[in-house]
Amino acid sequence: MRASWLGIAILAQFALLAWQTYGWENLLQNGKGVFLRSMPVDPRDPMRGDYLRLNYAANNVPSHLYRGPAPLSSLKRGDSVYTALESVGGVAAVTSVNSAPPSSGLFIKGRLTWSPQGERLGIAYGLGQLYRQQGRALEMELMQGGEEGVPRSLDIELAVDDRGRALIRGYRWADLGMAVTVVNGDTPLLEVRIRNYADDTAYISSDAQHCAFDIVYSDPQPQSLAFAPSLCYALEVSSRQAIAAGEEALLRIDLSAERWTVLGNDGVARPLWHQRQLPSLRLVYQARHRDADVGQAQLWSQPFNLPRSSGSGQE
């Protein structure tokens, strides 16, 4: 009798495993497709075996995008959240974060990686690794590095169901790549190269203040860099720059400009490179001109570090 019950239990486990496998296979085949842009990998972070580590903007979302219904202060690390997405130009962007599944629209389920206590929410979705097919590892490394040293982002194709479950179904390479070189002088200068890998001309937002660009921490953190208020917050970028197929745009961003000063805990604005214990950073491009290519609405550089200043002030 005991053997019979043991046999039934084993069969039940196999049946459950088969049902779960069928569910995931069905999701891969029939889930709604959406592309989520990943950030270029850090070249100093070695690839782990056959898997490539992926980071997304959706992993670190501004707290003001939280829509409830539970109070944000009631959430804690490990709680489930549901991130609503909207596809713009073929690439998804986060529109809101919710404590319950939205009644409509596309969303993916995740879990908080820290208790909400700052300006940003850390969210993990179980989509942080991409299997590198055997024999294609070298190809992927070369593509990531990009031509002429301008790395490209991966647009990760997800299969999503109506419960917010998501699996990686494939990938493609972004049409634009961005590289940043730190030029050390009296003040750091960023040389920015944006390369067009597409077959057609691309357009990016362009203005003298470089308002289409921002600097963020490379790794997700509860707080953002507290840049001093500038005209960029209200300025509408009124011009655009064309980049022909296979060509590059070269920009120089002077970090001594007022818009790159950071407010310290004492309320005093200091140059960005004067901050103590400044971690690695990324430059982010966000299209702000109505005629800029919406499919390239956001680009990230690889991580970079600024030189330490001998006159470092408060964080």
Q: Which residues pair with 28 in a beta bridge?
A: none
* Residue of 148, 193, 192, 150 whose CA lies nearest to 173: 150
Contacts of 271 (CB under 8 A, 6+ apart): 187, 255, 256, 260, 261, 262, 309
pLDDT, residue 7, reads 58
CA 115 to chain centre: 20
Which tops the pLDDT comparison, 44 or 247? 247
Q: Decide if pLDDT at 83 tops 90.
A: yes
118: DSSP letter: S
Cα–Cα distance, 296 to 221 (Å, whole number): 25
DSSP assignments along 17-61, one per residue: HHHHHHHHHHHHHHSEEEEEEBPPPPTTS--BTTEEE--BGGGEE
CA 271 to chain centre: 25
Q: Say how many Å lie between the first and final Cα of the chain, rounded.
A: 69
The string of pLDDT tens digits covering residues 153-209 is 888 999 999 899 999 888 888 888 999 999 987 778 999 999 999 899 988 888 888
CB 76, CB 152: distance < 8 Å: no
* Residue of 301, 279, 286 whose CA lies nearest to 55: 301
CB 177, CB 194: distance < 8 Å: yes
CB 131, CB 50: distance < 8 Å: yes
308: DSSP letter: P
**Average pLDDT over all residues of the chain:** 79
Question: Which tokens hold the place of 282?
Answer: 């990324």
| Residue range 51-72: mean pLDDT, rounded | 88
Model confidence, pTM: 0.78
Sketch the domain layout of the chain as residue ranges. 32-172, 175-300
Q: How far is CA 3 from CA 6, 13, 58, 113, 142, in A?
A: 5, 15, 50, 44, 57
The string of pLDDT tens digits covering residues 238-268 is 678 899 999 999 999 998 888 888 877 777 7
- CATH code of 175-300, in short, is 2.60.40
Q: Decide if pLDDT at 18 tops 60.
A: no
